[in-house]
Amino acid sequence: MCLDESPVFRSIAVISMVLALSSSCATTSHRPGWTDSQIAAGSVVHADIQKTRDALAGVIDRVRERYQIEGISLVLIQNQDTLWSEGFGYADRMRRVPVTPGTVFRAGSLAKPFTAIAVMQLEEAGKLDIDQPINAYIPQFTIRSRFDTTAAPITVRSILCHHSGLPTDLSKGMWSNESFTKVAAKLNEEYTAFPPNLVFSYSNVGYTLLGHMIQEVSGENYTDYMQRHLFEPLGMHRSGMRLRPSMESYLARGYRGGVESERLPIRDLPAYSLYTTAEDLGRFMKMVLSEGTLDGNRILMAETLEEMLEPQNQDIPLDLNVINGLGWFLEEESIPGGGRVFRHGGTTLLYSSELIMLPEQGLGVAVLANSSGSRALVSQLAEEILKGALDTGQQAESMQVALQAFSREVDDPLPAAPGGTYATDLGLISIRPKDAKICACIVEETFDLIPYPNGWFGVSQDSVDSLPPSYKVLGKLRFKTQLIDGVEVIVAQQGEERGILGEKIPPTPIPEVWLKRVGNYRLTNPDRAFPLTEPKVMLHQGQLCMSYKMPLLSNSTIRVPLRPISDTEAVILGLGRARGETLRAVIVDGEERLRYSGFEGKKLKGY
């Protein structure tokens, strides 16, 4: 329901453009090597990175124009040196205000590493224990569950690494001025999506609770705590979890499709409300790469920071190769020659961000943009800048974001299953034999598949040419059905990298009480700032589904498969973000309504 922000969600977009990288980067002092041309507008380009900058600059402008991305700001650092910081395009096109490294952007879920650091600061101070249940610190928090949470309670640690089983979002009121501390009480009417520590499932709700906990434990307002204990000690003078008056004149306007659009308020500040600049993010990365200290100010102990960057979920089979630290996504050699990688990004309405660090190389990069639909570009641009700085010798002829699965090998415990229907982020995918061929039914379309050795299959080239744009990524993948930790899944592979695409839906009869709920609905508590429209309960290829639209995100219909588990409850099928969540029938004023993620809907008469 919300936007964002994990390797899983870098996986669906496809963008191509030409790059030429030819540079090397070496550690050097600040003064020697600066050229004269880049001092204007606060930009910095070190001589050792000049060729990379020159190769990328023209491409950035061409791609901005092609994809209607109004402005981009970036910074590249090595250890304690800034090698490159520059802005491209406009922070305010109408007033011709250019983007600079000091331009303020919304950075979305880049808020999460900062919130995580604040949590670890409080643990260092002895004020909390991240292995304790979250409700030890927020007593008013409770949530319904269909699982046994006594064996594995929702701990602070499980929230930090997105394994709490909490819902992804509480969608009603996300884009409002409502206090984030009200979320804890509102969750009393919601259900957990998964048992704790079953599977990676990204949760903005979880980080909102962490911010509430910071406020309760520290005795300080959350935003004040962040300002006094992180941003001020780091010298991040144009950063905050709220837009302070002193930052307003530096804020980049947000654009959608080349048109300036309204910037909506954000409720869940601890999860995705960071305002910051490329310059400030450069200072943040210097602190992390110098083991928690910057300019004599210690933000975290070195051993605490190292704990944050250690894998937390290697014993969870369903995660396949998604590796989480505490507040970070971890990778290994995903940047060729880079060694360990830790990263986070953010996508919020009208803005995108990506921050990547290579600790073994002492390198870090951050890229910010002020237009919707820019996340794929921002993410890949950050990677290409690091490749250029590493001088891997690999000339990048194109930039492409396809399925970002992960590099750890997976043993196949069973041979490929004969087929079935799977709940995926691309909709329902059905795999079935037909006259010695395999077909896939995606939404309303059917495409031929071709077999490959060892049980793998892919979309035929003829079908690739006819795929809708949002599904063309399938043409670059190979698929295989597999049983992992007792769960039947479909695994997607690109090159040597693999990831879980979806979970098999078991054929189950639909109870009559749920068949009677099929029809169109009207929301009785609409969110006027961020509307959800056209809610329906429907049958799709014999599968019970819920569908709706979120016009500010996309014109596409969001359709998710449901499995009734009682006369009043149905769960969204699948694994990961927004899966496992509950649609519930409730009685309000003597009438039945359906409730999901804070919204309530009443069935329209005649359906």
Per-residue model confidence as pLDDT tens digits over 79-99 = 999 999 999 999 999 999 999
Taking residue 142's Cβ as centre, other Cβ atoms within 10 Å add up to 14
Q: Indicate whether 435 pLDDT > 80.
A: no
Residue 289, class by beta-carbon neighbours within 10 Å (0-12 exposed, 13-18 middle, 19+ buried)?
A: buried
What pLDDT was estimated at residue 12?
31
Q: Indicate whether 110 pLDDT > 60.
A: yes
**Mean pLDDT of all residues in 364-371:** 97
Residues of the chain with CATH 2.40.128: 420-505, 512-603
530, 531, 536, 542 alpha-carbon torsion, rounded to 10°: -40
- Reference 525, options 294, 189, 72, 268; nearest CA is 189
Taking residue 97's Cβ as centre, other Cβ atoms within 10 Å add up to 16
Report the SS3 class of residue 343. strand
What pLDDT was estimated at residue 115?
98
Residue 516, class by beta-carbon neighbours within 10 Å (0-12 exposed, 13-18 middle, 19+ buried)?
A: exposed
What pLDDT was estimated at residue 494?
74
Fill in the DSSP letter of residue 133: B
What pLDDT was estimated at residue 432?
61
Q: Which two tokens stand for residue 210?
A: 């962490």
Terminal-to-terminal C-alpha distance of the chain: 26
Instruction: Give the Cα separation of 264 and 270 in Å (integer).
Output: 16
Q: Which two tokens stand for residue 279?
A: 């310059």
Instruction: Give the Cα separation of 134 and 153 in Å (integer).
Output: 9
Q: Which amino acid makes up residue 168?
A: T
Taking residue 209's Cβ as centre, other Cβ atoms within 10 Å add up to 30
Residues of the chain with CATH 3.40.710.10: 104-276
pLDDT above 90: percentage of residues in the chain: 57
Percentages helix, strand, coil for the chain (3-state, rounded to 5) are 25, 30, 45
pLDDT above 70: percentage of residues in the chain: 82
The CA angle 73-88-112, to the nearest 5 degrees, is 15
Secondary structure element (H or E) that encloses residue 9, with its range = none
Instruction: Give the Cα separation of 389 and 363 in Å (integer).
Output: 8
Q: How many CA atoms lie within 13 A of 201 on its CB side?
A: 25
What pLDDT was estimated at residue 48?
85
Contact 536, 521 (CB under 8 A): yes
- Reference 60, options 101, 18, 100; nearest CA is 18
Q: Which residues contact 498 (CB under 8 A, 6 or more apart)?
A: 320, 321, 405, 406, 410, 491, 492
**Mean of the per-residue pLDDT values of the chain:** 83
Domain 420-505 has CATH 2.40.30: no
Q: Confidence band (pLDDT; 50, 70, 90) for 605?
A: confident
Q: Indicate whether 10 pLDDT > 70.
A: no
Q: Which two tokens stand for residue 522?
A: 């009207």
Taking residue 324's Cβ as centre, other Cβ atoms within 10 Å add up to 23
Contact 286, 80 (CB under 8 A): yes
Query: Domain 104-276 falls in which CATH fold?
Result: Beta-lactamase (3.40.710)
Instruction: Give the Cα separation of 582 and 566 in Å (integer).
Output: 11
- pLDDT digit string, tens, across residues 217-268: 999 999 999 999 999 999 999 999 999 999 999 999 999 989 999 999 999 9
Domain 512-603 has CATH 2.40.128: yes
**Mean pLDDT of all residues in 123-144:** 96
**Mean pLDDT of all residues in 452-459:** 74
